[in-house]
C-alpha cells in the first residue's frame, strides 16, 4: 500500500498509487505522491513519468473519514498535500502520462488535469463531487479537461463524464480496454522516452511557461472558499450526510 516507483523500461518511471479500498488518499499520501513524482522527474535517467493506480479505480480524492475525524488539522494538511501533489505533476521536469481506469474523482481530477498526456480505460469516468461534500476545489483542473460551460454544469451538478467523451474533447489521448491500459500508457511513454530528453525537458518548461492558466494560484484561490465552508460548519454537515450514506 501507499506510493511506489518502479522502472519497467529505460527512461520510464512508473509511480503507482495503492490506497485501498478506493484510492482516497490521506494527508500523508498526497505528500508521498508529490515527493515520488518530483524525485522521478529530477532523476536525469528519467525521460517520462507514468502515473497509475491499482485497485477499484484511479483516485476517489481525499479521505473524507480522516477529514471528519481530525477536523481542521486534517483539512489544512489535505489541502496543502493536494496542492503539493497537483503541483508536482504540473512542475515535473519531464512529461507525466496519467493512466486512468475506473473512477477519477475530486483530487484525481487535480492530478489528471495537470498531467501532460491522459490515457484512459473504457470504464474510466471523471468528475468532481465536491459540492456534495461541502468543499470546493479542482475546478481549475477540470477546466483543463472540458470546455468552460461543461465544466460549470459538471461542477454544480457533481456529475461525471466518460473517457470517450473526454477523448471527443481532445483531453484524453487514447481510450483502450481495461486490460490494455498499462501497455498503452507505456507505449506512449516509450515514444516520449525515445526522444532527446534535453529537448523534451525544455519543451515541458516552455509549454508550462506559455500556459494561459496559473494552476497554482487558481487552485489556492478555490481552497479559500473550502476553508470558509468549514469554518461556518457547512462542510461538516455535508460530510456527515455523505458518510451516513455509506459511501
Instruction: Please give the average pLDDT of every successive group of 10 residues along the chain, which has 247 residues.
Output: 96 98 96 98 98 96 83 84 97 98 97 98 97 90 97 97 98 98 98 98 98 93 90 86 73
Q: In sequence order, which ranges of 128-196 are alpha helices (DSSP H)?
A: 139-142, 148-157, 163-169, 181-193
The pLDDT, as a whole number, for residue 247 is: 45
CB neighbour list of residue 42: distance below 8 Å, 6 or more residues apart: 93
In angstroms, rounded to a whole number, what is the distance separating the alpha carbons of residues 70 and 11?
A: 40
**Hey, which bits of 192-243 come out as E strands?**
none
Contact 130, 155 (CB under 8 A): yes
* CA angle centred on 166, ends 114 and 210, rounded to 5°: 35
pLDDT, residue 139, reads 96
* Residue 124 near residue 100 (C-beta atoms within 8 A): yes
**pLDDT for the residue numbered 72:** 74
CATH architecture of 2-181+196-244: Alpha-Beta Complex (3.90)
pLDDT at 71: 65
Domain ranges of the chain: 2-181+196-244
- Bridge partners of 3, per DSSP, are 17
In the numeric block, the cell 511513454 is attached to 189
Residues facing 161 on adjacent strands: 126
* pLDDT for the residue numbered 211: 95
Cβ neighbourhood burial of 93 (10 Å; 0-12, 13-18, 19+): middle
| 37: its cell numbers | 513524482
158, 132 contact by CB (below 8 A)? yes
Amino acid at each position: 500500500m501507499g506510493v511506489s516507483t518502479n522502472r519497467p523500461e529505460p527512461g520510464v518511471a512508473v509511480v503507482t498509487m495503492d490506497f485501498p479500498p478506493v484510492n482516497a488518499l490521506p494527508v500523508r499520501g498526497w505528500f508521498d505522491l508529490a515527493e515520488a513524482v518530483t524525485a522521478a522527474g529530477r532523476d536525469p535517467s528519467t525521460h517520462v513519468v507514468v502515473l497509475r493506480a491499482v485497485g477499484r479505480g484511479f483516485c476517489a480524492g481525499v479521505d473524507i473519514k480522516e477529514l471528519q475525524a481530525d477536523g481542521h488539522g486534517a483539512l489544512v494538511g489535505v489541502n496543502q498535500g493536494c496542492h503539493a501533489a497537483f503541483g508536482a505533476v504540473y512542475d515535473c521536469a519531464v512529461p507525466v502520462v496519467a493512466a486512468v481506469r475506473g473512477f477519477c474523482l475530486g483530487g484525481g481530477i487535480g492530478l489528471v488535469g495537470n498531467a501532460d498526456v491522459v490515457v484512459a480505460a473504457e470504464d474510466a469516468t471523471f468528475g468532481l463531487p465536491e459540492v456534495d461534500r461541502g468543499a470546493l476545489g479542482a475546478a481549475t483542473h477540470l477546466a483543463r479537461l472540458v470546455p468552460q460551460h461543461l465544466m460549470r454544469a459538471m461542477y454544480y451538478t457533481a456529475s461525471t463524464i466518460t473517457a470517450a467523451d473526454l477523448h471527443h474533447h481532445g483531453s484524453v489521448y487514447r481510450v483502450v480496454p481495461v486490460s490494455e491500459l498499462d501497455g498503452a500508457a507505456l507505449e506512449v511513454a516509450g515514444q516520449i522516452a525515445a526522444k532527446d530528453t534535453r529537448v523534451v525537458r525544455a519543451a515541458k518548461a516552455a509549454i508550462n511557461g506559455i500556459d494561459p492558466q496559473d494552476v497554482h494560484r487558481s487552485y489556492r484561490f478555490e481552497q479559500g472558499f473550502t476553508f470558509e465552508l468549514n469554518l461556518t460548519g457547512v462542510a461538516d454537515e455535508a460530510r456527515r450526510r455523505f458518510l451516513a450514506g455509506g459511501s
